[in-house]
Structure 1
Amino acid sequence: MATKVAVVTGANKGIGFAIVRGLCKRFEGAVYLTSRSVERGAAAVEALEREGLRPRYHQLDITDTRSLETFRDYIKKNYDGIDILVNNAGIAFGRHATDPVAVQAEQTIHVNYFALVTTCDILFPVLKNGARVVNISSSYAHLSNIPSQALRDKLKDEKLTVSGLSALMQQYVDAAKQGTHAAEWGNSSLVVAKVGVTALSNIHQRMYMDRDFKINSVHPGFVDTDMSSHNGPMTIDEGAAAPLYVALDAPDTLRGQLIWFNKDIVSWDGVKPDREF
C-alpha cells in the first residue's frame, strides 16, 4: 500500500510543532515537519525523537517559490501525494511593535495571505483526492472584525474568486500605505490577514469539490507562542487539539468551515463567540 503523508508548514516551534507531535502519535504514515530554517527544523526533529517519535524533515519556506517547488517535486518523486496539509506558517508583529503601519500591513499580508495562496497553488496538485487541508487561522478571522459592511459582503460572496480576494487584500495594503485603511478595514493587519485566510479556505472548498478535498480553517485558541508574544494562557498541545481534530477525526462532511479551539463550528459571518480561547 502507498505510504500516507502529512505535512505541517512552519513546524519547528509553537502550534505547528505540537501538531507534528500529535500526528506522529496517531497518523499512520510519514509526518513531515517543515521549516524555513534547516538548523531550527533539525533541532525540532531531534526534540521529538527524544520523545520516541519519528517525524521526517524537509526544508520549506512558503515565501520562496523555488523552495515550494523543490518540496513539491520531492513529494512527487517519493510518494503518491499528500493526505493531510496543515498550513500553519505565518508571522505576527507584537502589540508593541514600532514598525510603521504600512510595513506591518505589507509584510503581514505577504506572509500570511499571499504566500499561502502560492503554497496552495503549488502543493494542491500533489494532494490526493479526498485530502484534508487545515488552515491555521484565528479568532481575528471572524468577519465581524471588519468594520465595513460592504467589505464583509464582498468577502462572504460565494462568487468571490481567489483573484478577487487577492485584489481586496492588496487594496488593504495600499490603503494602509496611504493611511486610509482604518474606517473600512480596522487597525489590525493580522485581522485582515486571517480574514483572508478563512475567505481563501471557503473559496478553495468550492473550487475543489470535484477532488473531494476537505478544506477548513481553525482558530486554535490564544496560545503561549511567539505569535501571541507569549501572552496566551493555552499550551501548544492545547492549541494543537482542534487542528488535529480537523485533520484526523472530523467527519468528512466538515468542509469550508471555521472551527473554534473547542472544536465547535462557528458561523463566520454570524455571532462571534464570547470566548476566544
Structure 2
Amino acid sequence: MATKVAVVTGSNKGIGFAIVRGLCKRFDGVVYLTSRDIGRGKQALADLEKEGLHPKYHQLDVTDKQSLEKFRDYMKSKYSGIDVLVNNAAIAFSNDAPEPVSVQAEQTLFVNYFSLLSTCDILFPLLKNGARVVNLSSALGHLSFIPSKALRDRFKDEKLTISELSSLMQQYVDAAKQGTQVAEWGNSSYVVSKAGVTALSKIQQRLLNDRDIKVNSVHPGYVDTDMTSHKGPLTIDEGASAPLYLALDAPDSVRGQYVWHNSKIVNWESEKLEESI
C-alpha cells in the first residue's frame, strides 16, 4: 500500500510548526516539515524529535520556482503522490514597518498570493484523488474588508478564473505603486493578499471537484507568533487546531469553504464579518 504523505510549507516555526507537530501525532503516514532556511528547518526537526516525533525534512522556498520544482521532483521519485498539502508560508509587515506601501504591496502579494499559486501549480499534479489542501488565510481575508462593492462582486463571481483573480491582485499592486489603492482596496496589503487566498481556494475547489480533492481556506485565529509580534492570545497549537481539522477530520462535504479557528464555516461573502460568524 502506498505511503501517505503530508506537506506543510513554511513550517520551521509558528503555526506551521504546530501543524507539523499535530500531523506527526495523528496522520497515518509521512509528514514533511519544510523551510526556506535549512538550518532553521533542521533545528525545528530536532525540537520535534525531542518530543518523540519524527517528521521528515526538505528545503522548500515557495518564492523560488527552482526550489519548488526540486521538491516536486523529489516527491515524485520517492512517493506516489501527496495526500495533504498545507500552504502555510506567508509574510506580514508590522504596522510600523518603514518600507513604503508600494514595496509592502509588491512583496506581500508576491509571497502570500503569487508564490502560493506557484506552489499549487507545481505541486497540485502530485495530489492523489481524495487529497486535502488547506490554504492559510486570515480573519482579515474576509471579503468585507475590501471597501469597493464592485471589487467584492468580482471576487464573489462564481465564474472568476485564476488568471482573472491574479490580474486583480496585480491591479492592487499597481494601484499601490501609484498611491491610488485606498478608496477601492483599503490600506492593507495583507488584507488583499488573504482575500486573494480565500478566493483562490474557492476557484481551485471548482476545478478539482471531479477528483474528490478538498480545498479550503482557514483563519487560524490571532496567534502568538513572530508575524503578530507576539500579540495574539492563542498558542501556536491552538492556531493549528482548525488547519488540522480540515487536513484530518472535516467531513468530505466541507470543500471550498472559509473556516474559522473554531472549525466553524464562515460566510466569506457577507457584508459584515460580524454577521457571518
Which residue does the alignment assign to 1:119? 119
Does 1:61 pair with 2:61?
A: yes
State whether residues 38 and 59 of structure 2, in contact with CA within 8 Å, keep that contact through their aligned partners in structure 1. yes
- Mapped to 1, the partners of 2:129 and 2:119 lie a distance apart of 18
Matching residue of 1:241 = 241
Gaps of 5+ in 2: none
Secondary structure of the residue aligned to 2:273 is coil
Within-5 A mapping of 1:161-180: 161-180=161-180
Normalising by the residue count of structure 1, what TM-score does the alignment of the two structures yield?
A: 0.98
Deviations 1:231-251 (CA, angstroms, capped at 9, x unpaired):
101100000000000100000
Give every structure 1 segment of 4 or more consecutive aligned residues whose post-TM-superposition deviation is greater than 2 Å: 273-276
- Separation in 2, partners of 1:230, 1:99: 21
Distance of aligned partners of 1:261 and 1:274 in 2 relative to their CA distance in 1, 3 Å threshold: farther
Q: What pairs up with 1:122-201 in 2 under 5 angstroms?
A: 122-201=122-201
Deviation string, structure 1 residues 28-79 (Cα, Å, up to 9, x no partner): 1000000000100000000000000000000000000010001101111010
Letter in 1 for 2:273: K
Amino acid at match of 2:141: A
Whether 2:60 is the aligned partner of 1:81: answer no
Retained in 1: the 8 A contact 2:266–2:276? no
* Alignment check: 8 A CA contact 2:101 2:177 kept: yes
Q: Give, in whole Å, the separation in 2 of the partners of 1:169 and 1:234.
A: 30
The within-5 A match list for 1:20-31 is 20-31=20-31
Q: Deviation digits for residues 110-132 of structure 1, max 9, x if unmatched?
A: 00000011000000000101110
Instruction: For residue 273 of structure 1, report the CA deviation from its aligned partner.
Output: 3.4
**1:273 correspondence with 2:274:** yes
User: Is this contact kept in 1: 2:85–2:133, CA < 8 A?
Assistant: yes
Partners of 1:15 and 1:273 lie apart in 2 by 25
The residue identity in structure 2 corresponding to 1:245 is: Y
What is the SS of the residue equivalent to 1:227? coil
Corresponding residue of 1:101: 101
Residue 129 of structure 1 aligns to a residue whose secondary structure is strand
SS class of match (1:208): helix
Deviation string 1:54-110 (CA, Å, 9 cap, x unpaired) is 000000000000100011011110101000000000000011111100000000000
What's the C-alpha RMSD, in Å, of the aligned pairs? 1.1
2:212 aligned partner, one-letter code = D
The 3-state SS of whatever aligns with 2:122 is: helix
**Partner secondary structure for residue 135 of structure 2:** strand
Inter-partner Cα distance in structure 2 for 1:258 and 1:227: 21
Percentage identity across aligned positions? 71
CA–CA distance in structure 1, aligned partners of residues 275 and 6 of structure 2: 33
Hey, what does 1:35 align to over in structure 2?
35
Q: Tell me the number of residue pairs that the alignment of Structure 1 and Structure 2 aligns.
A: 276
| Structure 1 residue ranges without an equivalent (≥5) | none
Give the secondary-structure state (helix, strand or coil) at the position aligned to 2:147.
coil
Q: Which residue of 2 aligns with 1:229?
A: 229
Aligned-partner Cα distance in 1 for 2:49–2:94: 32
Cα distance in 1 for residues equivalent to 2:157 and 2:67 = 33
TM superposition shift of 1:275: 10
Residue 206 of structure 2 is matched in structure 1 by 206
